[in-house]
Structure 1
Amino acid sequence: MVIVDMHEVNLRAVDLNLLVVLEALLEERSVTRAAERLHMSQPAVSRALQRLRDTFDDLLIARSGTHYTLTPRAEHLQVELTWVLKNIRQMVQAPKFDPLRTRQVVRMAGPDVEVCQLVPELLAHLQHAAPTLQVELDSRPSDYFSALVNGDIHFVISGLAPSQQDDQLHRIFLESTEVGLMMGAAHPLASQSIDLEAYLTARHGYISLTGRGPAFADATLKAMGKKRNTVLRLTSFASVADYCERSDLVFMLPKSIVEHVGKQRDVVFRPVPEELRAPELNFYLYWHQRNHRDPMHRWLREVVQSLVV
């Protein structure tokens, strides 16, 4: 009966740095040449060889006349060592990204109109710079920042700020725009200055990107002890112009979005009442810290930055 020693090797007791020295010794078959190759002193390599002999319980290299030869165990180790060290080097080496060959998938999310202002130009660039890079867009009403934190998507395009865990997120600036009122050109308020009283008497619609919760204007008015007459809540910007043209509804929207959805439509853009005016709205591209150093993500962010300069 053959008895096989099944004791597990304790890797914590093995100095894995010695494997690099072993590789040089097995290939050079000389302490002197191995020391020169490794930029080490001969005594240091000799000490390493003795530790390797103790570890493997084998001479590894043995003098044969005027030169050294490998023991049978060393010949076997050399084959295994080449594969092991190659894999370790690949594991430690920073991953490379080739945009011309990549087939990676980039998942982006944001409101449809906000996405449409950036992504078409981005795709026009990618068709030459990264022709096989796949882009998935999700503009369904959702809590995009939670999806970003959970790892479901890679990038969020938004004018909103994350409500929590923003210390885990990075961002780059895309554009700034003022916020104003969009209404049909035939609306009674379309040709006049709109004060707070006129604003409150109008009928309002608003966009809730998450599909729930009040609009920013409602929270501001509540703090003032006032309330507007909201009769419609939408979860997308796409149909806003239709409602403005065919009804007396007023929407408070970023100007850049009004210019997009209201192009060649019978709508107007008017300033908000002085009491509701706020600083310009900033749009950002957000990503999670888990992807901050990923080569593909870094490359794509640089492309985006070049497009919005």
Structure 2
Amino acid sequence: MTDHTNPEKLIRELDWNLLRTFMFIIQEGSITLAAKRLMLRQPSVSQALKRLETRLETVLIDRGPSHFRVTPAGQMLYQECLDIFGSLARTIQTTQGTKDVVTGKVKLALLSRIESPFFDQLLSDFHHENPEVSFDLEVMSSKAVQQAVLEKSVSLGICLVHEQHPMLRYQTLYRSFFGFYCGPGHPLFGQRDLTLDDLAGHSSISFRTDQLWDALRPIALLRAQHRLDDRVIGYTSHLGEAQRMITAGLGFGPLPLHVAERFVARGELWRLPPYGQELPIDIHLVQHKSSRLNRAEMAFSDMIQQRLDTVPLPERTYSAEA
């Protein structure tokens, strides 16, 4: 091995700003956009990428006037960069929080409209015990939640899950049941004793995860079996926006029973078949297996784990009567 390619020498002499610049180039998908984000001139960013490729003796991005493709080596380096800078950020937060175990920030990514008395009570109890801890909650899609946890930009995630990533740990936070609903302007509103066949031909609303290969597979399977997916006219990743479109009469769609029933009582939604609780959906707590938590996050994670261990799933399961 030559001195030029010695890994220890590379690590010792590598400019870490080159890795940061490379990470931004991949995230933006463009040297021009990365330069804007970094507030640098485009030639400076191009030169930084060239220096990094020269130092590593490998092509990271195959680029030209009409194409921009990350090579396998570039993909591998990008994932390592995410892990390195994510771990560094967590380490800094941990260092800043060492003076007082009850200070710091808990960063949490979650789905929209997480309605769970179990989780609400946990937040309340944690705040009562640790009033100096602040929370940073960001709402995003399930896929984005898992990616944020994987990149270690957040400490915990709450989302739907279909395929589990080997670097993440999953636990069922709560279970809910879904049913189909329509709004006051829908032709089926107010009608009783309907069957699933009565829904056929009507326009519908769907979640982006409402696919046979995704987290809401039970709903997608029911749609497919009864040919209810021919006229999907509205897609969303947010529960609130799905309910908005359903209430506005754009079409019928799936909603959690324990969320929708109070709107049924106010005459804003109408329950459609199936009338039982055939569509159980689990909401998961997601954590990185090797994430370094600051003291606030560690305390919050410990409290969640203690509650999950002592409160059985049936008490964290919500039906229409919950």
For residue 290 of structure 2, give the secondary structure of its aligned residue in structure 1: helix
User: Within 5 Å, which residues of 2 pair with 1:1-309?
Assistant: 101-114=101-114, 120-141=120-141, 143-158=144-159, 160-165=160-165, 167-185=166-184, 187-190=186-189, 191-208=191-208, 216=217, 217-218=219-220, 221-222=223-224, 227-247=229-249, 249-259=251-261, 264=266, 266-272=268-274, 278-291=278-291, 296-304=296-304, 305-306=306-307, 309=311
Distance in 2 (alpha carbons) for counterparts of 1:126 and 1:263:
33
Q: Is the 8 A contact 2:149 2:155 kept in 1?
A: yes
For residue 228 of structure 1, give the secondary structure of its aligned residue in structure 2: coil
Task: Give 1:115 deviation, angstroms.
Answer: 6.5
Distance in 2 (alpha carbons) for counterparts of 1:261 and 1:107:
31
Q: 1:264 to 1:240 in 2, by over 3 A?
A: farther
Q: Is the 8 A contact 1:205 1:233 kept in 2?
A: yes
Q: 1:293 to 1:261 in 2, by over 3 A?
A: farther
CA displacement, residues 124-151 of structure 1 (integer Å, 9 cap, x when unaligned): 2233211121211111335211211111
Distance in 2 (alpha carbons) for counterparts of 1:119 and 1:284:
12
Distance in 1 (alpha carbons) for counterparts of 2:195 and 2:128:
50
Distance in 2 (alpha carbons) for counterparts of 1:103 and 1:209:
36
Q: Is the 8 A contact 2:102 2:295 kept in 1?
A: no
For residue 131 of structure 2, give the secondary structure of its aligned residue in structure 1: coil
Task: Give 1:260 deviation, angstroms.
Answer: 7.1
The worse-fitting range, judged by mean Cα deviation, of 148-157 and 214-223 is 214-223
CA displacement, residues 236-286 of structure 1 (integer Å, 9 cap, x when unaligned): 222334333331511112223434776746113334389xx8552122211
Q: Is the 8 A contact 2:103 2:295 kept in 1?
A: no
5+ residue gaps, structure 2, are: 1-94, 312-322
Distance in 1 (alpha carbons) for counterparts of 2:262 and 2:292:
31
For residue 169 of structure 2, give the secondary structure of its aligned residue in structure 1: strand
Distance in 2 (alpha carbons) for counterparts of 1:200 and 1:156:
36
For residue 244 of structure 1, give the secondary structure of its aligned residue in structure 2: helix
Distance in 2 (alpha carbons) for counterparts of 1:119 and 1:260:
19
Distance in 1 (alpha carbons) for counterparts of 2:294 and 2:100:
17
Aligned residue pairs total 208
Task: Give 1:120 deviation, angstroms.
Answer: 4.5
Task: Give 1:176 deviation, angstroms.
Answer: 1.7
5+ residue gaps, structure 1, are: 1-94
Q: 1:260 to 1:207 in 2, by over 3 A?
A: farther
For residue 201 of structure 1, give the secondary structure of its aligned residue in structure 2: coil
Query: Highest CA radius of gyration, 1 or 2?
Result: 1
What amino acid is aligned across from residue 280 of structure 2 in structure 1?
Answer: E
Q: 1:140 to 1:290 in 2, by over 3 A?
A: same
Q: 1:120 to 1:218 in 2, by over 3 A?
A: closer
Q: Is the 8 A contact 1:241 1:265 kept in 2?
A: no
Return the structure number with greater relative CO, CA threshold 8 A, min gap 6.
2
CA displacement, residues 203-255 of structure 1 (integer Å, 9 cap, x when unaligned): 10122269xx9874446655787743111112322233433333151111222
What amino acid is aligned across from residue 268 of structure 1 in structure 2?
Answer: W
Distance in 2 (alpha carbons) for counterparts of 1:288 and 1:246:
39
The worse-fitting range, judged by mean Cα deviation, of 297-306 and 173-182 is 297-306
Task: Give 1:186 deviation, angstroms.
Answer: 5.6
For residue 148 of structure 2, give the secondary structure of its aligned residue in structure 1: helix
For residue 163 of structure 1, give the secondary structure of its aligned residue in structure 2: coil
CA displacement, residues 43-95 of structure 1 (integer Å, 9 cap, x when unaligned): xxxxxxxxxxxxxxxxxxxxxxxxxxxxxxxxxxxxxxxxxxxxxxxxxxxx9
Q: Is the 8 A contact 1:157 1:283 kept in 2?
A: yes
Distance in 2 (alpha carbons) for counterparts of 1:306 and 1:102:
19
For residue 161 of structure 2, give the secondary structure of its aligned residue in structure 1: coil
For residue 113 of structure 1, give the secondary structure of its aligned residue in structure 2: coil
Cα RMSD of the aligned pairs, angstroms, is 3.9
Q: 1:192 to 1:186 in 2, by over 3 A?
A: farther
Q: 1:265 to 1:240 in 2, by over 3 A?
A: farther
